[in-house]
Amino acid sequence: MAILKAFKGLRPPRDIAPLLASRPYDVLNSEEAREEAKGNPYSLLHIIKPEIDLPENTDVHSQSVYDKARENFDLYKKNGWLTPDQEELLYIYAQTMNGKTQYGIVGCAGVDDYMNGIIKKHELTRKDKEEDRMKHVRITNANMEPVFFTYPAMPAIDEIIFKFVNSHAPAYDFTAPDGVGHHFWVIHDKAIIQQIITLFRSIPYTYVADGHHRTAAAALVGNEKKQNNPHHTGSEEYNYFLAVHFPDNQLSIIDYNRVVKDLNGLSVQDFFKKLETVFDIKKVGPDNFKPIALHNFGLYIENHWYSLSAKSGTYDDTDPIGVLDVTILSRLVLDQILGIHDLRTSNRIDFVGGIRGLGELKKRVDSGEMAAAFALFPVSMKQLIDIADSGNIMPPKTTWFEPKLRSGLVVHALD
């Protein structure tokens, strides 16, 4: 049974919410964050990427950066830019992109649910990235950014959400610079809150869609506080962390593509000869080619696109990992032909989120920076859930969710 808990959120006043809400910490580097927050004292980037307020050569993992995060968070509270709600509430956060809206429930997930596997994950985390966010949670004593969860859609919950949003004005309603609409409602009605929480208890598992490092950091700090508290009762706020829960049937995963720097010493002709043993190849031409189905890939090389279809017998559709196109490409091409054996450490490969479009792949090859690009058919939500349910882990850089959550519309304090 999944836990969903109401909480006293810290929120910005309506007039500054569009200015305070920022993109997540991990989609911008320090330079980009500095530029994005320039001239905007409200941006949450001053807390989640606090190095932007320190000299440019500052080590982002130095203590001064974490201290700056706490200092800025204290300033936001003092200035009334983040003020606490006076009662425990649930919230609804909806996003509109390309005419489609997805509705998430903002509430706290349980630390014990993460530790006990009720919250399922599909990616490995890196200890250094975990520890960075753990330090951030410890020093601010808050979950500054929500994590992005999904759950098996429940018509009864959908009905409550749609009825509520159609009969109440949103607390925040704005379009971000990237064109994505963000809509946020506060549920004050205790009966509705209890109804949603009760329905949620019948959901067996929830799933991390995006934000594995933030999820791990939030849960591990909560568990750490539990271990360090001799008077722990289980009701403390640190037993919970901030999440937005979306029904799985409203989400879509977009492609996550690959570019490679070289052909492992092969000529283009020899490269194609090796590809022909495992793919049916069709030359498409200079126009962008988007894969049309599972096991179909786009290859861009020497100013032309090609359609590659994996030959029968080269993959296993009964294996939740083996069926993934990222696995097929990694095994048949990156590993066996190009000699790229570890996607996490190799400097001969890079990854391009589908939100950047196929034009980005073409650009990086045409510039001479990369030798070839591969476009992939996106993973489905069913594949993600099947993998998480089977206890397997997806290969690196498999899923890309859009739109991304904006951080700062609500914050969860751990005290």
Question: What number is the average pLDDT over the span 187-212?
Answer: 97
What does the pLDDT look like over 229-255, one tens digit per residue? 999 999 999 999 999 999 999 998 999
Among residues 363, 352, 353, the alpha carbon closest in space to that of 288 is found at 363
The amino acid occupying position 242 is L
Which class is domain 256-377?
Answer: alpha beta
Instruction: Report pLDDT for 381.
Output: 93
Instruction: Report pLDDT for 357.
Output: 87
Sheet holding 119-120: strands in order across? Answer: 119-120, 206-210, 147-151, 240-247, 100-110, 90-97, 181-187, 172-175
Among residues 338, 325, 334, 345, the alpha carbon closest in space to that of 394 is found at 325
Question: What number is the average pLDDT over the span 386-395?
Answer: 91
- One-character DSSP codes across 138-192: HHHTEE-S-EEEEE---HHHHHHHHHHHTTS--SEEEE-TTS-EEEEEEE--HHH
What does the pLDDT look like over 135-169, one tens digit per residue? 999 999 999 999 999 999 999 999 999 999 999 99
What does the pLDDT look like over 311-329, one tens digit per residue? 999 998 888 899 899 999 9
Tell me if 48 sits within 8 A of 136, measured CB to CB: yes
Q: Does pLDDT of 95 surpass 90?
A: yes
This prediction has a pTM of: 0.90
Instruction: Report pLDDT for 99.
Output: 95
Instruction: Report pLDDT for 344.
Output: 81
Tokens encoding 101: 């809206």
Give the pLDDT band (50/70/90) at residue 275.
Answer: very high
What does the pLDDT look like over 72-84, one tens digit per residue? 999 999 999 999 9
Q: What percent of the chain has a predicted confidence (pLDDT) above 90?
A: 91
Instruction: Report pLDDT for 100.
Output: 97
Instruction: Report pLDDT for 397.
Output: 84
Question: What number is the average pLDDT over the span 274-303?
Answer: 97
Question: What number is the average pLDDT over the span 354-374?
Answer: 94
Domain spans in the chain, listed from the N-terminal domain onward: 10-252+402-413, 256-377
Instruction: Report pLDDT for 148.
Output: 97
Give the pLDDT band (50/70/90) at residue 126.
Answer: confident
Instruction: Report pLDDT for 395.
Output: 84
Instruction: Report pLDDT for 385.
Output: 94
Q: Does pLDDT of 353 surpass 90?
A: no
- Which H or E run includes 206? strand 206-210
